[in-house]
Structure 1
C-alpha cells in the first residue's frame, strides 16, 4: 500500500475518534476546562509511545508507524485545539485553568509517551 494511503486510512479512524471522544468526555464534565481535548491528547501520546517502543524493539514496521503513528495519532491528537482552548480560557478570565491546561497537558502527554514507550519495549523487546 502506498505510504500516503496508510496515513489517510489511519486519519479516517483518528479524526472521528477524536471528535466523538472529545464530545463524550466533555459532556460528562460541567467545567470550562477542556477535558475532552486533554483526554485525546494524552491517549494519543500513550499510543504513540507504545508504537515507538515497539519500533525500537523492531516489532513495528514502517508501514504500521505510518498507519498508527502519523495517520491515527496525527488525527486523534490536536495541538491547534489545545492552543485555541488555552487562549480562550485566558481571554475569558480563566487564567488558572489556562495554566493548568498547559502544564497538565504537557506533563501528562510526556508521561504517557514515556510510559507507552516503556510498555512497548517491555512487551515487544
Structure 2
C-alpha cells in the first residue's frame, strides 16, 4: 500500500512517468498491492522503499523492484536481489508482452516524465532491446 501511495498516487501528482507504468501493471494484474509490516533497514529509506523490501522479505522473495541506489544497497544488505524498472521492461519485451516500439515509447515516456536514468544506461537499454527484437526474428 505504501509503495502504491508513493509510486503511483504521489508519482502522478508529480507527473512521474513511471507512476503510469506501475498503475497499468497493477490494473493488468502484473503487480499486486499488499500491506507490508515494518522492517529495520541498515540504511535510512523512504517509506515506500522500506515497504517494498519488507514485503519481499515477508513473501520469501529473492528479488525486489527498486530503482533508488540507497534502497538497492539496503536490499542487498538484507539478502535480496534488487531489480530496476529498465530490467523489468527488457524482460517484458523478451517475453513478448510488448514489442520494440512499445518498449521505446515507454522508455521515452519515463524519461520525459522525470525518471532518472544515466545516458549510458539508456543507450545500453535501447541496444539490448534491439538485440532482443532481432533474436525474435
When the two structures are superposed, what TM-score results if normalisation uses the length of structure 1?
0.28
Instruction: Determine which structure has greater relative contact order: mean sequence separation of CA pairs < 8 Å that are 6+ residues apart, divided by chain length.
Output: 1
| Larger strand proportion of the pair | 2
